[in-house]
Amino acid sequence: MAQEVRVRFAPSPTGALHIGGARTAYFNWLFARKQGGKFILRIDDTDRARSSEASYAQILDGLRWLGIVWDEGPDVGGPYGPYRQSERMDIYRRHLDKLVAEDKAYPCFCTPEDLAKDREAAQREGKPPRYVGRCRALSAEERARRLEAGEPHVYRIRSRAEGETVVHDLIRGDVSFANSEIDDFIIWKADDTPTYHFASCVDDAEMRISHVIRAEEHLSNTPRHVLLFEALGLEPPAFAHVPMILAPDRSKLSKRHGATSVSEYRDMGILPEALVNYLLLLGFSPGDDREIVDRETAIQLFELEKVAKHAAIYDVKKLEWLNAHYFRQQSPEQVMDEVWPRLVERGYVARDESRRELLMWVRTVIAFVQTRSRNAQELLDGVRPYFEPVTVYDEKGVRKHFSHSDTARRLRIVAERLAGVAPFVAPVVEREFRGWIEELGVKPGDLIHPVRLAITGLTVGPGLFDVIALLGRDEVCRRLRQAADRVEAGQVPVA
């Protein structure tokens, strides 16, 4: 029987969930779903000083929000738990003891000063820094004596100086590393905790991980891991290293390039559907020009062979474009659910509003503005004129559209005439309005623009006649008269 596909995302809870991590998680998740396998969340928190509960919570939260759900993990459990490395110390110790008993690993008593001197000497000779092997061949008696005396020590794995280690990477093909580049590296630290390398390999084996899919920056660690699996007498998983994500100037992506954490995107109004679609495009090409690829389609299409070898370039414009697409696709219910709390917060509606007519009206306003918005923030800005009186007017607009000496009179005429329009619906308003344009002998823009500015404070927006119909006769007339008063008084507040 073919081996069950089991993949893991193994974040260290030392900060926010960034797009790089989220992308790795998503690729793992897609691979598991496509192959009918399991996706495991493991928390690499052996570094107690740098790990935090806040970061742990943020990572789980971010993944859930993205819809990247795990089959086994710290909160849901599973057959190979616990899933937090800090709770697995006895497992690592057992494997360490075995390696030491088999003389595949040994205690090293070299002090930091010894090692610094070795490094300097290597540097002087132009050699790469390697552990010189001082404690490699200590006699069993000496080891026992020094351990007994409580001398501080780490444990190192015995590496091979000769030959090479080939990593079979499912994305990059075979990548070989000279064994001379790999020294007797530390697997157990002086503070009595395992190193990342050791804990990671033990867990990947213990948790029956079939494929390790992780960031390219770990490729140079992989020959060490191959060596460790061998020493542990365990079958290594298959490896796949996903390409780096670079900033548009090809530098390392960092804070100065804008938001990079999942929670920041969420706060910016990016939808999870848009973000996962974007994550997919960071290194995966569906094989044609298609860029809109939802989760279900991505599962169908996902193959490690189609992941790029070259770096992916981060492009916030693409993310915003995808967001606009998914935003407009949302059903009115989804949008209502999303923005209702914010409408309440702004005092536009009562939390427990139950008047059917009003609810219908809010829904219509939202649906109407939604088609012209790219995210929730734009939607909220766009609905403002429907819920708030106009207190300021667009400055440029005022200069352009309120400057004619006849402006106030024209606004009043429109207000007067609107009072007689029935039924008060967009097509009828439009028909009548066109008549008034002719009657006044002006160009359409000479009436449409000032009226829009007067009733919304803005120069752009949805079709004017729809806006008029939605705002309702009384409100529109009130705003037109108020604007006319302000123009006449020469006191038009601008922003």
Q: Which of these segments, 10-18, 47-55, 100-108, 250-258, binds ligand GLU (CB under 6 A)?
A: 10-18
Q: Is 255 a catalytic residue?
A: yes
Q: Minimum distance between the CB of residue 475 and ligand GLU, rounded to whole angstroms? A: 55
Residue from 156, 227, 204, 240 nearest 44 by CA: 204
Q: Minimum distance between the CB of residue 12 and ligand GLU, rounded to whole angstroms? A: 4
What one-character-per-residue DSSP string does 163-210 give?
Answer: SEEEEEETTTEEEEEEGGG----EEE-TTS-B-HHHHHHHHHHHTT--
Name which position in 211, 214, 241, 374 contacts ligand GLU (CB under 6 A). 214
203 lines the binding site for ligand GLU (CB under 6 A): no
Nearer Cβ to ligand GLU (28/373) = 28
Q: Which of these segments, 6-14, 277-285, 366-374, 482-490, binds ligand GLU (CB under 6 A)?
A: 6-14
Q: Minimum distance between the CB of residue 397 and ligand GLU, rounded to whole angstroms? A: 51
CA distance 458 to 381: 11
Name which position in 5, 10, 276, 483 contacts ligand GLU (CB under 6 A). 10
Q: Minimum distance between the CB of residue 115 and ligand GLU, rounded to whole angstroms? A: 24
Compute the half-sphere exposure of residue 97: CA atoms within 13 Å on the CB side of its CA: 6
Q: Which of these segments, 5-13, 99-107, 280-288, 421-429, binds ligand GLU (CB under 6 A)?
A: 5-13
Nearer Cβ to ligand GLU (200/323) = 200
In the stretch 25-64, what mask flags binding to ligand GLU with x, by CB under 6 A? -------------------x--------------------
Name which position in 189, 218, 325, 342 contacts ligand GLU (CB under 6 A). 218
Which residue of the set 255, 309, 318, 443 is catalytic?
Answer: 255
Q: Minimum distance between the CB of residue 204 and ligand GLU, rounded to whole angstroms? A: 8
Nearer Cβ to ligand GLU (44/394) = 44
Q: Minimum distance between the CB of residue 73 and ligand GLU, rounded to whole angstroms? A: 14
Q: Which of these segments, 7-15, 95-103, 313-321, 436-444, binds ligand GLU (CB under 6 A)?
A: 7-15
Q: Strands, DSSP E only, in 200-302?
A: 211-215, 238-242, 245-246
Nearer Cβ to ligand GLU (260/375) = 260
Name which position in 5, 6, 7, 11 contacts ligand GLU (CB under 6 A). 11
What one-character-per-residue DSSP string does 345-367 give?
Answer: HTTSS-TT---HHHHHHHHHHHH
3 state SS of 31: helix
Name the residue with tokens 């995808």.
322
- Under 8 Å between Cβ of 116 and 146: no
> 146-164 b/e with 16+ CB inside 10 Å = b?
beeeeeebbbbbebeeeee
Nearer Cβ to ligand GLU (10/202) = 10
- Under 8 Å between Cβ of 261 and 255: no
Footprint (CB under 6 A) of ligand GLU, residues 451-480 = none
Q: Minimum distance between the CB of residue 100 and ligand GLU, rounded to whole angstroms? A: 24
Contacts of 301-308 spanning 24+ positions with Cβ under 8 A:
302/27, 302/30, 302/31, 302/33, 302/34, 303/34, 304/31, 304/170, 304/171, 304/211, 304/213, 304/240, 305/170, 305/171, 307/27, 307/171, 307/240, 307/242, 307/243, 307/283, 308/243, 308/283, 308/284
Q: Minimum distance between the CB of residue 9 and ligand GLU, rounded to whole angstroms? A: 7
Residue 318 annotated as part of some ligand binding site: no
Q: Number of residues in contact with ligand GLU, rule: CB under 6 A?
A: 7
Nearer Cβ to ligand GLU (157/448) = 157
Residue 493: asked if its preceding bond is cis (omega within 30°), the reply is: no
Nearer Cβ to ligand GLU (10/339) = 10
3 state SS of 284: strand
Spacing of C-alpha 324 from chain mean position: 16
Q: Which of these segments, 4-12, 25-33, 368-376, 415-423, binds ligand GLU (CB under 6 A)?
A: 4-12
Nearer Cβ to ligand GLU (10/186) = 10
Nearer Cβ to ligand GLU (200/375) = 200
Contact residues for 425 (Cβ-Cβ < 8 A; gap 6+): 469
Strand partners for 212: 239
Which helix (H) or strand (E) segment holds residue 226: the answer is helix 222-232
Spacing of C-alpha 167 from chain mean position: 30
Name which position in 28, 55, 58, 200 contacts ligand GLU (CB under 6 A). 200
Residue from 274, 270, 284, 273 nearest 312 by CA: 284
Name which position in 5, 7, 12, 365 contacts ligand GLU (CB under 6 A). 12
CA distance 60 to 74: 10
Residue 272: asked if its preceding bond is cis (omega within 30°), the reply is: no
Q: Minimum distance between the CB of residue 20 and ligand GLU, rounded to whole angstroms? A: 9
Contact residues for 123 (Cβ-Cβ < 8 A; gap 6+): 129
Residue ranges in contact with ligand GLU by CB under 6 A? 10-12, 44, 200, 214, 218
Please state the residue numbers annotated as binding site: 255
* Binding site as annotated, residues for ATP: 255
Which residues belong to the active site? 255
